Chain A
Amino acid sequence: MTPERWQRVEEILQAALDCPVPQRSELLAQVCAGDAELHRETTLLLEAHDGAGEFLEQSALELDADVLICDANERLTGSRIGHYEIVERLGSGGMGEVFLARDERLERLVALKILPSYFVSDAERMRRFQTEARAASALNHANILTVYEVGESEDTHFIATEYIDGQTIRELIGNDKLTLGETLDIISQLLNGLSAAHAAGIVHRDVKPDNIMRRKDGTAKILDFGIAKLVEDSASELSTLTSRTTSRTELGAVLGTIGYISPEQARGLAVDERTDVWSVGVLLYEILAGRRPFSGATNADTIVSILERTPAPIFASEVRVRALAKLQQIVSKALSKDVGRRYQSAADMLADVAEVKREVAAGSNRSRYGVAAETPVADARELTGRISPLGSAFPIAVIALLAICITAGVILYRRNARQLAVEAPLPTTYAQMNDAQRLRFISEQEQHVASMMGERPVKLNDEALRAIKTVVEGYVAPPKPNAPTLNEIYSRAPPYIPLIAKEFNARRIPIIVGIYLPMIESAYTPCYENEAGAKGLFQFMPSTAEHYGVARADMCDVNKMAPAAAHYIADRMAELGDDSQSMTLVLLSYNRGANSVLDSLRMLRETDANYERNFWTLFANRDKLDHSFRNESAYYVPAFFAAAIIGENPKAFGLNMPPLSSQVRNGER
């Protein structure tokens, strides 16, 4: 094709694409009159355009990531660096690739880490690094990886260390295989190794799950002493060279994962052993809660979270409530932003962890605590109902047992609940309650539902409670003629609950969200098609549905829509970053999209940096937000709570059924 010919073809193609679909063929016929070849060419291109779908939409970098990885393996495998022969690639970290290699002189296997040259260009810096790496290694501690050699061969800098046949803690967390007993064991070993290093004046600075390995015999090993220092030095040197200040974000990018750095590291202040204590606290929280305490959509957001936020509590579980209460205290102390209030040494923290470890071990001899030490933490989360938005879903089979958990959770973490507990009991049914009692009931039940969603504890003000109450009363008002009764509406839900539970659990979204979202969307009525798509249990615009793999014609198929809805919510959680820890905001994003939620929060942040990051803050400030929020979205989340409060308290509302959430059975989780 000549450029001139293409210019003509493209002109017509673009014009046709700008036209509404029905008028396109007419346009082509007119413009191409007398030029059959041009007509054919443009028609085929239009067809190609319509048929192209996802063609080229996902970048090759993403599609073919494996090629880059494998290519690198092929390049180095079998090659020689100094007296080491590369056997295979083991993995990669923030600081370069790690290979399994054979030391030909000593006839042993080693792990060989190859350092990118831009970190090691300075001889003096390398020397300091070697000193520190060797010093840690010289401690000869069972929990510290032994460094054999820090060397250089033909411009390649490498570190040869003992080879650990095992997995990193990152891998173990990813598989959700760690039991509480194992977790405490690893943390104890980690603190042991660190306190030996600290005693010798060495701070690790980059404690994170990727830097700790567990050998097959259970021994935990801390890797990479000195590396973080090297990175910090090279980053600050780079910045001196170019007269810029190195941002912490940049450092985080270099280190790989920023979520574990301490506030003082984030500020660029001097660090000491208490920085390592902080990172151990982050790690312990992550294993227990199944999510990181500090996260954000970007590194900068994560840093804000580290500097300013208190992590959401780890939820109590009934079987291990005593252990968890203590662990929660340990984590809180390790994550004290003020270094003076933190554990002053790894040894101090170890003493407290060891105590819980003993209790758990002793407890596991008694059947009541049997679950605690041997059940994988992840399973225990489900079994015992310690839920979190990013963690696992709510365990509904054990709802009766859970009463204990919730009581304990409320006493431990919800100060307001203490006051409520001493008040006079409420009447059994909602109908018998007066206005003040209804508000109190709604307040208590809001806390209950929020805890099932993994929400941080907040006390709603009267206005917010009244918003929920208004919706509740709309539900319980006598039905209009021919309209279904409340009992009929709620009886529609149970057949769908196993499916919803399965799909939401698979995406680690609290099941309660999946159960009551359809209540606000369609009250579980049979699905019907309308011009905007379809109105069923879960609803999407047709384009969104298509994006989530549901064709227009299948939008009434709940077997397709339920997984798509869970997928959609999981994506919004990812987009919301740190705010994804508030399920109320995630719910709102189902109604408004994540961007709009983020925009609204951003606007509030400008007026009040200390606002509570949840829906209710937006609700309280709805006058400042746009019209569509005030009129529609402001009542979306209250409607969810109203639906859930009724469904979880069937007796109080005269419903002839158990709580909906109790209808998820073990096998369905």
Chain B
Amino acid sequence: MMAVATESELTNLLDDWKHGDPSALEKLTPLIYDELRRIAHRYARRERNGHTLQTTALINEAYVRLAGNDSPDWQNRQHFFAVTAQVMRHILIDHARRRRALKHGGDGQQVSLSEAEAMSNERAAELIALDDALEELATFDSRKSRVVQLRYFGGLSLEETAAALDVSLMTVRRDWRAAKAWLYKAVNREW
């Protein structure tokens, strides 16, 4: 099971990760994975309860749960968001690639029913195309690529994204619209 998450430990892990220690991400992943699953379950239940959920609020709540409410290091929250977006992207892309491999009969394995229900072939193809396009975008405009990662995979609002990247809201708005246009074109080119 996962490591114990006291505030200081989370802080340390985030610190290590920020300074490029690859093992920090490994330790952070299960913690964040659990939070993401919790959020996913709330989405799954949402229909029934008729509640509107805001992803940004859920992610904030996840941070509070792991780190405590008014964590003094405000920077940590931003790092946490960044790691969350990255973990989410990894999970989904892994899943999509596995899905595609299975579809092509790569290892002769049957796709399990629940796995097939969870993600359609079209969605898997779309995610892989998006991931490739994001990689390419990062080669010539890394900030835009990060904006999209935070917004799309991390569920952050424009405001939160601006705070996480320490740029103005206006910049994020402009980055977002340009990145969306470029990605839309790139993704559709592949189809």
Q: A residues within 8 Å of B by Cβ?
A: 1-3, 5-6, 10, 13-14, 17, 44-49, 51-52, 55-56, 59-74, 92, 116-118, 121, 154-157, 174, 238-239, 241-242, 244, 246-247, 249-250, 253-254, 298, 390, 508, 570-571, 574-575
- The docked-state distance in angstroms from the alpha carbon of A13 to that of B59 is 33
Q: For residue A595, give the distance in angstroms from its CB to the closest CB of chain B.
A: 14
Question: Is B18 part of the binding interface, using a Cβ–Cβ cutoff of 8 Å?
Answer: no
* A253 in contact with B51 (CB, 8 Å): no
Contact call B95/A45, Cβ cutoff below 8 A: no
Whether B182 pairs with A241 at a CB distance below 8 angstroms is no
B52 touches A575 (CB 8 A): yes
- Neighbouring B residues of A116 by C-beta, 8 Å: 2, 34
Residues of chain A contacted by B180 (CB below 8 angstroms) = 49, 52, 55-56
B2: chain A residues within 8 A (beta carbon): 116-118
Question: In the complex, which of the residues A66, A118, A247, A575 contacts B119, with contact meaning CB atoms closer than 8 Å?
Answer: A66
Q: How many angstroms between the C-alpha atoms of A49 and B117 in the bound complex?
A: 31
Chain B window 123-163, contacts with chain A (Cβ cutoff 8 Å), 1 for yes, 0 for no: 10001000000000001110000001001111100000000
| Residue contact A174 to B48, C-beta cutoff 8 Å | yes
A52 touches B92 (CB 8 A): no
- Residue of B53, B66, B68, B123 touching A242 (CB-CB under 8 A): B68
Give the distance in Å from the alpha carbon of A398 to the alpha carbon of B148 in the complex: 55
Instruction: Scan residues 32-86 of chain B and give those whose CB is less than 8 A from a CB of chain A.
Output: 33-34, 36-41, 43-44, 48-53, 55, 57-59, 61, 64-66, 68-70
Q: How far is the CA of A298 from the CA of B88 in the complex (A)?
A: 25
Residues of A within 8 A of B69 (CB): 244, 246-247, 249-250
Q: Which of A13, A46, A61 contacts B155 (CB 8 A)?
A: A61
> Which residues of chain A are within 8 angstroms of B66 by Cβ–Cβ distance?
118
Contact, CB under 8 Å: B6 / A238: yes
Chain B window 92-134, contacts with chain A (Cβ cutoff 8 Å), 1 for yes, 0 for no: 1001000000000000000010110111000100010000000
**Are B114 and A74 in contact (CB-based, < 8 A)?**
yes
A5 to B152 alpha-carbon distance, docked (Å): 26
A117 CA to B66 CA in the complex, in Å?
12
In whole Å, how far is B184's beta carbon from the nearest beta carbon of chain A? 4
Provide the bound-state CA to CA distance between A107 and B77, in Å: 47
Minimal Cβ-Cβ distance residue in A for B174: A14
8 Å CB contact of A13 from B6, B50, B181 = B181
Kindly state the separation between the CA atoms of A1 and B185 in the bound complex, as whole angstroms.
Answer: 14
Q: How far is the CA of A612 from the CA of B43 in the complex (A)?
A: 33
B36 smallest CB distance to A (angstroms): 5
A441 to B153, CA, bound (A): 58
Separation of A508 and B127 alpha carbons in the complex (Å): 36
Would you list the 5 A-B pairs with minimal beta carbon distance, nearest first? A49-B181, A68-B40, A65-B40, A48-B185, A65-B43
Determine whether B15 belongs to the interface, using a CB cutoff of 8 Å to chain A: no
In the bound complex, how far is the Cα of B95 from the Cα of A570, in angstroms?
A: 35
Q: Which of A1, A49, A154, A246 contacts B140 (CB 8 A)?
A: A1
Q: Which A residues touch B38, using CB under 8 A?
A: 92
Q: Which residues on B sit within 8 Å (CB–CB) of A47?
A: 185
The chain A residue sitting closest to B68, CB to CB, is: A242
Q: How large is the interface on B (under 10, 10 to 19, 20 to 34, 35 or more residues)?
A: 35 or more
Nearest CB of B to A393, in Å: 14
Q: How far is the CA of A604 from the CA of B55 in the complex (A)?
A: 30
Interchain nearest-CB distance for B126 vs A (Å): 10
Task: Return the contact of A69 from the options B8, B37, B65 (Cβ within 8 A).
Answer: B37
Closest Cβ–Cβ distance, residue B132 to chain A (whole Å)? 14
Q: A59-B151, A70-B118 are in contact. List 18 more A-B contacts (CB 8 A).
A: A6-B140, A10-B141, A59-B152, A60-B88, A60-B127, A61-B154, A64-B118, A64-B123, A67-B91, A67-B95, A69-B41, A70-B117, A72-B37, A116-B2, A116-B34, A238-B6, A242-B68, A571-B52
Complex Cα gap A5–B182 (Å) = 14
Q: Is the CB of B40 within 8 A of A156?
A: no
A-B contact pairs, 18 of them (CB 8 A): A1-B140, A3-B140, A3-B141, A45-B178, A45-B182, A48-B182, A49-B181, A59-B154, A61-B40, A61-B55, A61-B155, A62-B43, A66-B117, A71-B91, A92-B41, A238-B7, A253-B61, A390-B50
Q: Which of A13, A61, A66 contacts B88 (CB 8 A)?
A: A61
- Which partner residue on chain A sits nearest B43 by CB separation? A65
Quick check: A73 and B68 within 8 Å, CB to CB?
A: no
CA–CA, A254 and B67, complex, Å:
12
Q: Give the residue among A56, A157, A298 with the most B Cβ atoms within 10 A.
A: A56
In the bound assembly, the distance between CA atoms of A570 and B47 in angstroms comes to: 13
Residues B156-191 near A (CB distance < 8 A): 174, 177-178, 180-185, 188
Using CB atoms, name the residue of chain A closest to B38: A92
Q: Is the CB of A61 within 8 A of B39?
A: yes
Output the nearest chain B residue to A10 by Cβ-Cβ distance.
Answer: B178
Chain A residues near B34: list those with CB within 8 A: 116
Nearest B-chain residue to A153, judged by Cβ: B1
Docked pose: A13 CA to B180 CA in angstroms: 12
Assess the A61–B153 pair: CB atoms within 8 A: yes
One of B95, B151, B155 near A71 (C-beta < 8 A): B95
The listed residue with most A CB atoms (<10 A of its CB), out of B51, B140, B177, is: B140
In the complex, what residues of A have CB within 8 A of residue B40's CB?
61, 65-69
Contacts of B43 in A (CB 8 A): 61-62, 65
CB-defined interface of B2-28 with A at 8 Å, one 1/0 digit per residue? 111111100000000000000000000
Residue numbers in B under 8 Å from A6 (CB-CB): 140-141
Question: Which residues of chain B have C-beta atoms less than 8 A from A575's C-beta?
Answer: 52
A73 to B5, CA, bound (A): 23
Residues of B within 8 A of A118 (CB): 2, 4-6, 66
- When the two chains form their complex, are residues A2 and B140 in contact, meaning their CB atoms are under 8 A apart? yes
Please name the residue on chain A nearest to B30 by beta carbon: A117
Which residues does chain A contribute within 8 Å of B92, judged by CB atoms?
Answer: 60, 64, 67
In the complex, the answer to whether B114 meets A70 with C-beta atoms within 8 Å is: yes
Of A1, A49, A70, the residue contacting B177 (CB under 8 A) is: A49
Q: Which residues of A contact B89 (CB under 8 A)?
A: 60
CA distance in complex: A575, B53 (Å)? 10
> Once the chains bind, are A65 and B44 in contact (CB under 8 Å)?
yes
